[in-house]
Amino acid sequence: MKERSTEFLPIESDKEREEISEKKPTSTTPWPIELGQHPLGERKKRRREKDGIGELETWNKLPEAERIEGKSRIEVARECFDASERWRNLILETISVEPKERFEGGSIFYMWMNKVCPVSCEFCFFRSPTKDKRTVETEITPEGIEKIIQFTKEGKILKMVVSGGGEPLMSKDKINSLARSVKVKDFVVVTSAYWAKGKNGAERTLDALRESTQENPHHSTTTVRVSLDEGHFSRLSNSGSFDYVKNIVEWFSKNGMSGSRMKLLFHTMEGDTTVDGLLAQLSVKSSKETRQGMMHKKEVELENGLTFTIEYTQLFDASALTNLHDRKQVAKNVQTFDDFIDERRKGNMPVHFNGEQENGLDFLTFYDGTSTIWGASAPEVETSIYTEDYKQIIEKNLADVLTLGELEKGTKAIQAIVAEVNPKAVERAVCSGLRDFYARLLFEEDATRLYVSIRLLQDFVAEGRITEDQQTVWPKQLRKMVETPKEELQEAYFSSSHSIVKQYLTDPTVTADKLVSLHTRVLLGHYAMTSEKMMKEIDESDIDPAMKQTFRDAVVAPHSQMELV
């Protein structure tokens, strides 16, 4: 059978595609998963133009009214928190600290290829559409693929994992381009295996992937990681049949053993028995199970000599709309996250530890090209694979005192600083289970980012990493804040006028839909804010009256988000 001309439909028939696509996700994709809804996206672009304080020589040109003579430390700090975005941007643009290490050892590169998935599992927090227009915002472009390949050549990337957002093999040509050229030890493609419902589809997809892998001059191995659990199986199986999975096993039995540089891996959840049903239908010669902390694997060998791995992972209760009023669920989610950080990440989410060798990082690139250091990059520091190379992405992150603090001090140390003023931020970042968006959620509020930045500057001064001479060129307000004891900083933070609602209202891209989404999360306990106070701040704002009315109509209507709690 000839390969179809479109890489979006590598299924055996349109009827099969319709069967998969009939069941739709129950809701639209919420913040922070919907990349186009990033509240800081537009503000990152206009930061320099708006503030005009991006250069040292302009620091002395602050308006007369902002001078601090006769003001207490708390008054000065409160005024700075009232203008949190401005002062955080000043720190971001002009102050950096020499890092203790460069984190350029062996690293992991995660990426989302596209936004589309034909399976639409009910449990999936991505809520990926089954169809979407291909744009630079919804799928990595060919240029982006070349940039990513170059990234792997410039950095020491041990493994690349393509997953998330949508189904990677909806973009087969791009997956094969990566398999053919990336400079990594292991290239991992995470897939639902929707393309294997027919034998021909399975063979075409895997044949092309094997050919691409064998052309790779860096001798990378390609691992096909099949998600096999109750959720995926119920969507893809025909009356409980494992045929689509067995099509893959059959191909690997014929083609994926010695010399192919192709590996098969099944990924499932702890307590899920779906994979046991598959094993019961295969001729298993041996099975060896290993557990080390949270690491749980099973090595399987079939009678025909094929070997593959099954990995079990903990189940994260992942939702952008987790209910923080449910304290029992909060405690459970916190424990799950803490176990993950302590056992799997050695207390530091973004750092890839390499024993006695130099530590590396976990990078994450989204399908719109946004590139981050996983669990560390402050929201306004997020870079792009289209505009920055490996060195530039490293440098921009290390140049931010907030991101550097996350890398050097560890996940829980930064959580503790955030919790001094905003424990809600810690809860929503942890309890959402959205690890790819952890830093976005933790540092969503301008005032919180400013507070943590000041506390880290205090630490860096105490450690002797910022000298007195360096501080002499700082604005007096900033010096005053860094000199202010923690307790007084907290008092200034709580007495300032900043709020998450005002932060949204001052964003030029604010819409009624964004405010309704924020209101939903307010009701769920994600912020130190009430519905009544939010209504009041919106009523008193100068946004378009029509937007106010649209917002009010949405949140007070019967069966609205107000019934969530």
Q: Which burial class, exposed, middle or buried, applies to 220 when counting CB atoms under 10 A from its CB (0-12, 13-18, 19+)?
A: buried
pLDDT (average), residues 75-93:
95
pLDDT of residue 87: 96
pLDDT above 60: residue 564: no
Q: Comparing 132 with 419, which gets the higher pLDDT?
A: 419
Q: Which of 104, 224, 129 is nearest to 176 (CA)?
A: 224
pLDDT above 50: residue 425: yes
pLDDT above 50: residue 25: no
Helix (H, G, I), strand (E, B) or coil at 363: strand
Please state, in angstroms and rounded to a whole number, the distance separating the CA atoms of residues 519 and 496.
Answer: 21
Q: Comparing 458 with 128, which gets the higher pLDDT?
A: 458
For residue 226, what pLDDT band results from cuts at 50, 70 and 90? very high
For residue 191, what pLDDT band results from cuts at 50, 70 and 90? very high
Please state, in angstroms and rounded to a whole number, the distance separating the CA atoms of residues 495 and 505.
Answer: 20
pLDDT above 90: residue 504: yes
pTM score of the predicted model: 0.90
pLDDT (average), residues 18-36:
53
Per DSSP bridges, beta strands 157-162 and 107-111 are: parallel
pLDDT (average), residues 499-511:
95
pLDDT of residue 130: 72
pLDDT (average), residues 388-409:
98
Q: What angle do CA 462, 468, 471 make, to 5 degrees?
A: 100
From residue 26, alpha-carbon distances to 29, 30, 46, 332 in Å are 10, 12, 36, 25
pLDDT of residue 556: 85
Give the range among 186-200, 245-259, 404-418, 536-550 with minimum mean pLDDT: 245-259
pLDDT above 80: residue 126: no
Three-state SS annotation for 379-398: HHHCEECCCCCHHHHHHHHH
pLDDT (average), residues 139-162:
98
pLDDT above 70: residue 280: yes
pLDDT of residue 18: 41
pLDDT (average), residues 518-524:
97
Give the range among 130-139, 153-162, 227-236, 246-255 with minimum mean pLDDT: 130-139
pLDDT above 60: residue 16: no
For residue 99, say if its preceding peptide bond is cis, omega within 30 degrees of 0: no
pLDDT (average), residues 410-426:
99
For residue 20, what pLDDT band results from cuts at 50, 70 and 90? very low
Helix (H, G, I), strand (E, B) or coil at 53: coil
Region of 119 (left: φ > 0; alpha: ψ -120 to 50; beta: rest) is: alpha
pLDDT above 90: residue 196: yes
Of the ranges 9-23, 109-123, 330-344, the best mean pLDDT one: 330-344
Please state, in angstroms and rounded to a whole number, the distance separating the CA atoms of residues 8 and 138.
Answer: 14
Q: What secondary structure letter does DSSP report for 316?
A: P
Task: State percent of the chain over pLDDT 90.
Answer: 76
pLDDT of residue 315: 81
pLDDT (average), residues 263-271:
96
Mean pLDDT for all residues in the chain? 88
